[in-house]
Structure 1
C-alpha cells in the first residue's frame, strides 16, 4: 500500500506540473498575470480523473460516463500540448530563438496532433501475421483491449462484421473488454452473438478491477467461451486460456499446470505478454500494452515489458502482442493504431 500511495502521489505531481506548465504558456500568450488562478485551475483539472473514477464506480450512468470521458480527453489534450511545448522549448535553446516566438507554432502543432489522434483512434486496421511452422492450416483472428463504453459498444457491430468477412475458424479476445465507464449489461456485449466463428475470451486487468465474474458470465451468455486456466480443443488445435492475475509467478504456475497434448499445436491466450519458456506452446497471443497508445508513452511501456507490439520468436514458438482494437482513457492514438489481427497459420 505505501508503494501504491507513493506512486499515486508521484503521478499526480507530474500531472499537475504538466497542466500548470501548459496553462502558464497559454497565460503568457494572452498576457494573463494571475498566477494564483492558474495554479488553482491546474490543480483542479489535473486531479479531475479521481472524482470522475470514484463517481462512476458508485453510479455508472450517462452523466458520470461523460464526466469520466471528459477527464480522460482532458489528460490526452494536455499531454500532447505539453509534449509539443517541451519540444519547441528544446528547439528554442538549440536555435537560440526566444520561446515566445515559437509558442504559437507549438500550440499549432499540438492542435494538429490532437485532431489527428482523435481521427486515428476511430480507424481499425487489419494486420496479417503469417506463421508457416505452426503445424496446422488455420485462420485465427484476435481482438483485444476494446474497452467498450456506451458509445464505443456501437462500434462493436463494425468489428464483428469485419471479422465475419475475414471468415476465420477461431476468434480470440484477449481481455480488457471493459473500462470504468462500461455498462456491464447484456446489451453491451450482445453483438458478440453475431460472430460466425468459434470464439474464446480471457480476462484482463480491467475485468479484474471492475467485476471479473459478472463480465465473464455476460460474455459467456453471448456465445463466447471464457477460458479460466482451461484448455479447449477445436479442429485439432488446443486453445489454452489463462485468467488475469496480478502475480506473474502465479500465472507461470497456472500455465505449467495446464494439461496439453504434445501431438496438437497450442495457442495460449494471456492478456499481459508473458515471458515464458514453456516449449509446449506454439503461439502466445496477448494485448495490454496498447503499444503506448500515445507517443512517447511507448518509450515508457518499453521499460516495463519485454514485448510491446508485434511478433517475437520464442524458443519453440512465437508470441504476438496486439496494440489493441480500442483505446483506454482518451479516445486518441498517436504513433499507434487500433488493430484486428489475422493469423494465417500453416
Structure 2
C-alpha cells in the first residue's frame, strides 16, 4: 500500500508539473508570435497536457500498433517540451538585458528544439558497449562480467530490443550477467514471450528488482519471468564462479540494506558483489566487507538538463566510485524511461573486467 501511495503521489506531482511546463510553453510561444488565445490554442494546450497520461491509460487497456505510436509520440513530447521550456527560459533571461524581436526568438527556439530533439531521439537508438576495469578483493583470477540495468521493456522497447541486448551480450562472452533492476517499464501489459530472449544468454544471469517492478506489481513480474533461465535474488546470497553474489530487493527504506546484510552469512575472505538498484548505501556495503556494488536507477540523468537535478538527489549518479576499498559502479541504463531520448548519456551494456589479486 505504501508503494502504491508513493507512486500515486509521484504521478500527481508529475502531472501538475507537466501541466505547469506546458502552460509556460504555450503562453510563451503565443506571446512571441502574438497568437490569440482562442479555441484552437486551448484545445492544443489541453491535448498536450493530457497526451501522456491518456496514452498511458489506453496502452494499459488496449495495446496495438496505433496505441504504441500514440504512446511513443506522447512520451517524446515530454522531452521536447522540456527543451522548449529551457530555451524559452533562456530567452526570458536574455531579454532582461537585450531587446530581441519576438518572432526571431520564437523561430530560433523552435529550430534549436528541433535539432536537439532529433539528436536525442536518434542517440537513444544506439546501444553502446562500455569496458571498465575494477579490482575485486580476494578474487584469485580475472573475471569478465556484464551489467545490464534499467532496460525498461514496455511499449517503446519490446521483445526485439531484448533480443538485440542478448545478441550483443553473448558476443562479449561474459562469465556472468547481472541485471540490476527495472527490467520492465510498466507502460504495457506484460507477456511471457517478451522475455524469452533471456534464455539465449550463454552465461548465468542474476536479477534484482527495481522501482518499476514494484510499480508493476512483483507477483505479475515474477509470473512472466518464471520461465526464464535467470536467478532472481530477493534479499539473499548465491555463490557463482567462486563469488558471493548478494541481491537486495528495491526499497526506499534507509535501513533496508543494513537489515538484509545483517541476516546473511557473508564470508569476508571470499570475493563478493552486491546488486542493489539504488546507487546508495556504499558505506554500509563497505562495512560488510563486500568488494563491489552494482547499481542503476539514475540513467545518468538521461537528458540534459535533468542530469543536474538527478545529481542533487543522488550523490553517486554515474560511473565508478570507491569507499574504503569497496567499489560502486552506477550504470547509465540499457534503455530509457519516459521520453525515448538521450542527451549527454547513452544506452549502455557495461563490460566489467574484474581484476584478481596477484
Alpha-carbon deviation of 1:306?
1.5
Conservation of the 8 A alpha-carbon contact between 1:65 and 1:181: no
Conservation of the 8 A alpha-carbon contact between 1:53 and 1:180: no
- Partner of residue 163, structure 1: 169
Equivalent position SS for 1:125: strand
Give the 3 Å change call, closer, same or farther, for CA 13–207 of structure 1 in structure 2. closer
Distance across 2 between alignment mates of 1:218 and 1:12: 30
Using the size of structure 1 for normalisation, the TM-score is 0.91
- Partner of residue 41, structure 2: 38
Equivalent position SS for 1:152: coil
Conservation of the 8 A alpha-carbon contact between 1:268 and 1:281: yes
Give the 3 Å change call, closer, same or farther, for CA 109–172 of structure 1 in structure 2. same
Give the 3 Å change call, closer, same or farther, for CA 182–252 of structure 1 in structure 2. farther
Unaligned runs of 5+ in 2: none
Alpha-carbon deviation of 1:36?
6.0
Give the 3 Å change call, closer, same or farther, for CA 30–5 of structure 1 in structure 2. same
- Partner of residue 314, structure 2: 305
Conservation of the 8 A alpha-carbon contact between 2:151 and 2:184: yes
Greater Cα offset, 251-260 or 263-272: 251-260
Cα displacement string for residues 106-138 of structure 1 (whole angstroms, at most 9, x for unaligned residues): 111100000000000001111122113443210
- Partner of residue 186, structure 1: 192
Aligned match for 2:21, one of 5, 18, 21: 18
- Partner of residue 292, structure 1: 301
Alpha-carbon deviation of 1:46?
1.4
Alpha-carbon deviation of 1:212?
1.4
Greater Cα offset, 77-86 or 112-121: 77-86
Unaligned runs of 5+ in 1: none
Alpha-carbon deviation of 1:312?
0.6
Conservation of the 8 A alpha-carbon contact between 2:148 and 2:178: yes
- Partner of residue 255, structure 1: 261
Greater Cα offset, 12-21 or 167-176: 12-21
- Partner of residue 152, structure 1: 157
- Partner of residue 264, structure 1: 270
Distance across 2 between alignment mates of 1:267 and 1:167: 19
Alpha-carbon deviation of 1:51?
3.2
Equivalent position SS for 2:131: strand
Equivalent position SS for 2:281: coil
Aligned match for 1:142, one of 141, 147, 161: 147
Alpha-carbon deviation of 1:273?
1.1
Give the 3 Å change call, closer, same or farther, for CA 213–79 of structure 1 in structure 2. same
Equivalent position SS for 2:246: strand
Q: Does 1:130 align with 2:139?
A: no
Conservation of the 8 A alpha-carbon contact between 1:18 and 1:82: yes
